[in-house]
């Protein structure tokens, strides 16, 4: 399965949530690949706490260089062997491989998605699809050449038999709901751009789900003022109304606001919950999202 992690806006929690989902999937024994296609700002290495690729990999060994034909293959790192976080290295025997394909250090947004680049992308996706159970591709925010590239690649006949999912991340605010809807349905959004390069609209739509991140609890996030709680609850009602018209039932899941992640981008480990530095609700949310992602019922036609 190939999963594209997308968002219209930046800073939605796309990378942190995707890294945590990838980690949870590997704990379930699945072989997971994480491809950092956020070429201009590769941050997965930092979140997985791999110091040597904190801002991407050096010497043109990353995905950007591979796609442009400047490297014959894309570098890959075993996350559990390479991470600087000892608790992440220790793991139960039955965990699956967890491999990061880093972006290039000092990389830049992709400027071309011509036939050669598309072909290299197809070859890479075919390889990872074959070797891994789940392959998560973190795309840069908004409409980009990376988006164009993966739409073209996934429309190629070689990839048509693969299960391909698209996740749209957004925060629980009015602007984010409208932006997430626009990324899929708007002019130059996934659907129109996808159809232009040969995708079937219904099939594409069936494989798109939304993920709400960092959702606040209106009853606990203020200093206890009654008027403020009433106001926050009204905002929540309005957001739910907007979400039901713009996004509908296609929400795969959500994450609550987690103080640990407000302060530091990282993978939340079970030991963080045991040590009471992270809430169990965030780990439960990541585990639930990981389960939903691989549960066919969550992808039944709506
Ligand atoms: N559930 C959460 N609770 C609190 N903070 C969160 C949560 N999820 C993510 N964050 C924080 O939000 C910020 C943005 O997250 P992240 O970098 O994953 O977003 P992004 O969409 O990948 O951004 P970019 O577009 O810049 O790549 C980070 O500081 C992250 O730790
Ligand atoms: Mg990111």
Average pLDDT over residues 163-184: 98
DSSP assignments along 232-285, one per residue: HHHHHHHHHHHHHHHTTT-EEEEEE--HHHHH---PPPHHHHHTTSS-HHHHHH
pLDDT tens column, 3-42? 999 999 999 999 999 999 999 999 999 999 999 999 999 9
Looking at residue 223, its pLDDT comes to 63
Task: Give 194 Cα–ligand 1 centroid separation in angstroms.
Answer: 27
Q: Distance of alpha carbon 301 from its chain centroid, rounded?
A: 22
Task: Give 38 Cα–ligand 2 centroid separation in angstroms.
Answer: 7
Q: Give the confidence band of 225 by pLDDT, cuts at 50, 70, 90.
A: confident
pTM: 0.97
Ligand 1 nearest atom to the CA of residue 7, by list position: 21
Ligand 1 nearest atom to the CA of residue 19, by list position: 18
Task: Give 266 Cα–ligand 1 centroid separation in angstroms.
Answer: 10
Establish whether residue 152 lines the binding site of ligand 1, counting it when its CB lies within 6 angstroms of any ligand atom: no
Cα distances from 15 to residues 48, 118, 136, 139, 167, in angstroms, run: 10, 23, 10, 9, 12
Residue 29 is given by DSSP the state T
Establish whether residue 258 lines the binding site of ligand 1, counting it when its CB lies within 6 angstroms of any ligand atom: yes
Q: Give the confidence band of 302 by pLDDT, cuts at 50, 70, 90.
A: confident
- Listed in sequence order, the residues at least 6 apart from 245 whose beta carbon sits closer than 8 Å to its beta carbon are none
Task: Give 141 Cα–ligand 2 centroid separation in angstroms.
Answer: 8
pLDDT tens column, 86-141? 999 977 778 999 999 999 998 889 999 999 999 999 999 999 999 999 999 999 99
**CATH architecture of the domain formed by 2-294:** 3-Layer(aba) Sandwich (3.40)
């Amino acid at each position: 399965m190939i999963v594209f992690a997308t968002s219209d806006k930046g800073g939605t929690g796309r990378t942190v949530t995707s890294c945590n989902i990838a980690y949870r999937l590997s704990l379930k024994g699945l072989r997971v690949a994480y491809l950092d296609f956020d070429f201009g700002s590769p941050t997965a290495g930092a979140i997985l706490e791999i110091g040597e690729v904190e801002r991407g990999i050096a010497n043109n060994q990353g995905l950007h260089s591979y796609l442009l034909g400047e490297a014959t293959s894309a570098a890959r790192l075993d996350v559990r062997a390479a991470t600087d976080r000892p608790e992440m290295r220790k793991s139960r025997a039955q965990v699956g491989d967890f491999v990061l394909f880093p972006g290039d250090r000092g990389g830049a947004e992709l400027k071309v998605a011509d036939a050669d680049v598309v072909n290299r992308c197809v070859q890479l996706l075919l390889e990872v699809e074959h070797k891994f159970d789940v392959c998560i591709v973190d795309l840069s925010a908004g409409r980009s050449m990376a988006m164009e590239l993966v739409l073209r690649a996934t429309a190629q006949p070689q990839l048509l038999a693969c299960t391909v999912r698209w996740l749209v991340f957004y925060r629980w605010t009015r602007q984010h709901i409208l932006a997430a809807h626009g990324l899929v349905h708007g002019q130059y959004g996934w659907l129109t751009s996808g159809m232009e390069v040969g995708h079937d609209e219904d099939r594409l739509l069936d494989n798109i789900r939304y993920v709400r991140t960092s959702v606040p609890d209106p009853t606990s996030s203020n200093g206890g003022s009654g008027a403020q709680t009433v106001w926050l609850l009204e905002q929540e009602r309005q957001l739910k109304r907007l979400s039901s018209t713009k996004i509908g039932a296609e929400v795969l899941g959500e994450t609550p606001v987690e103080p640990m992640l407000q302060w530091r981008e990282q993978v939340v480990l079970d030991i963080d919950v045991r040590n009471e530095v992270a809430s169990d609700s965030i780990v439960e949310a990541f585990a639930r999202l990981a389960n939903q992602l691989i549960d066919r019922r969550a992808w039944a036609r709506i």
